[in-house]
Amino acid sequence: MRNIIIGNWKLHPQSSREARMLARSIAQIASRIKNVDIVIAPPFPFLPLISAGSKVAIAAQDVFWEREGPYTGEVSGPMLRGVGARYVIVGHSERRNHLHETDEIINKKLKHALLSGLRPILCVGERKRDSDGEFFSVIKQQIEIAFAKVKRGDVTRVVVAYEPVWAISSGKSAKAAEPADANEAALFIRKTIAGIYGVRVARGVRIIYGGSSNAKNAKDFLSEREISGLLVGRESRDAKEFIKIIECAYTVS
C-alpha cells in the first residue's frame, strides 16, 4: 500500500508568514517525490493561504458534524473543502483529552467528513499500555464506535492512525512505541475492521503510526508490514526533518 506522511502542525506556527514558508519548503521537496502521499494539517486560518497550487494535500485538524446552523465557533466539511482541504483529522487524543470528545462525537464527525467528500484521518490509541493487553479493548471500542453506521463503500477512504497517547511527544515521558508493538496494534485494528466489514474491506484500509516519530525511527515503522505511513507532530514543523521523513517513506516504498 502506498505510504502517506501527514504533518500535524497543531497550534503552530504563530504567523501566516511562517506557515507559508514552512508549506513552501515542504512543497518544493514534494514535487520531486513519487509514490508517497504527503499531507500537512495547519490550523484553520492558514488553510486558504497555503492550499493553492501545491502537490501537498491539505488536512484540517478538526471538523464539526453539521453542515450549517447555530453552532458558534464550528467549521463544516463543505467549508473545509471550499478552502482546499482534502483530509481531516478526527479523534486526535489532544481533542479527546482537552475538549472531552467522546467516541460518539468522533463517529458523527467521521460520518460528516465522509459525506462532505473529505478523507478522515481517524486517531485511536490507548492512554496506557498494560502488560495484560487490556489496552486492546480500548482500541477495539474506539474503532467500533467510530465506524458505527459508516457505509461499507466509504471505509477505505478512512486513514486510521494508531497513536498511543503515551508516545505523543507532548507527554511528560513520551517515547516512541516499539515498531513491532505498533505493528501488532495495527494488525489488531485491521482485524477489528475485518470483524465489522470483512477481510477484503479491511485489507484496503491504510493504517499508520503516530507518536514521537522522527527521521531516525521512520524507516523502522515504515518497514513494518501493517504500517503504511506516519502521522508526525513535532517533527513536521521542522521542514528539514519532515523532508527527511518523506524521503525515508520514498526509499522504503
Residues marked as catalytic = 92, 163
Q: Which residue has the cell 504500517?
A: 227
Each residue 54-93 as x (binds ligand PEP by CB under 6 A) or -, in order, gives ----------------------------------------
Helices and strands (H and E) in the chain: how many? 10, 8
Query: Between vectors from CA 68 to CA 160 and to CA 60, what angle results, nearest 5°?
Result: 35
Q: Which residues on adjacent β-strands are paired with residue 229?
A: 4
Give the gyration radius of the chain's Cα atoms: 17
Q: Which stretch binds ligand PEP (CB under 6 A): 18-26, 135-143, 193-201, 205-213?
A: 205-213
Q: Which is nearer to ligand PEP, 61 or 197 (CB)?
A: 61
Q: Which is nearer to ligand PEP, 80 or 208 (CB)?
A: 208
Give least dist CB 184 to ligand PEP, A.
18
Q: Which residue has the cell 516512541?
A: 176
Give least dist CB 147 to ligand PEP, A.
20
Q: Is 168 in the site for ligand PEP (CB under 6 A)?
A: yes
Give least dist CB 223 to ligand PEP, A.
18
Q: Which is nearer to ligand PEP, 93 or 116 (CB)?
A: 93
Residue 161: alpha-carbon gap to chain centroid: 5
Q: Which residues on adjacent β-strands are paired with residue 231?
A: 6, 210
Candidates 61, 142, 213, 228; binder of ligand PEP (CB under 6 A) is 213
| Nine cell digits for residue 152 | 461499507
- Binding-site size for ligand PEP (CB under 6 A) equals 12
Candidates 8, 107, 183, 228; binder of ligand PEP (CB under 6 A) is 8
Candidates 25, 28, 169, 253; binder of ligand PEP (CB under 6 A) is 169
Residue 136 dihedral angles phi and psi, to the nearest 5°: -60, -30
How far from each other are the two terminal CA atoms of the chain, in whole angstroms? 9
Q: Which is nearer to ligand PEP, 197 or 215 (CB)?
A: 215
Give least dist CB 19 to ligand PEP, A.
18
Candidates 65, 210, 220, 237; binder of ligand PEP (CB under 6 A) is 210
Residues 6+ apart with CB under 8 A from 118: 60, 63, 77, 80, 81, 85, 86, 87, 88
Q: Which residues on adjacent β-strands are paired with residue 159?
A: 121, 206
Are the beta carbons of 165 and 93 closer than 8 angstroms? yes
Q: Which residues lie near ligand PEP (CB under 6 A)? A: 8, 163, 168-169, 210-213, 231-234
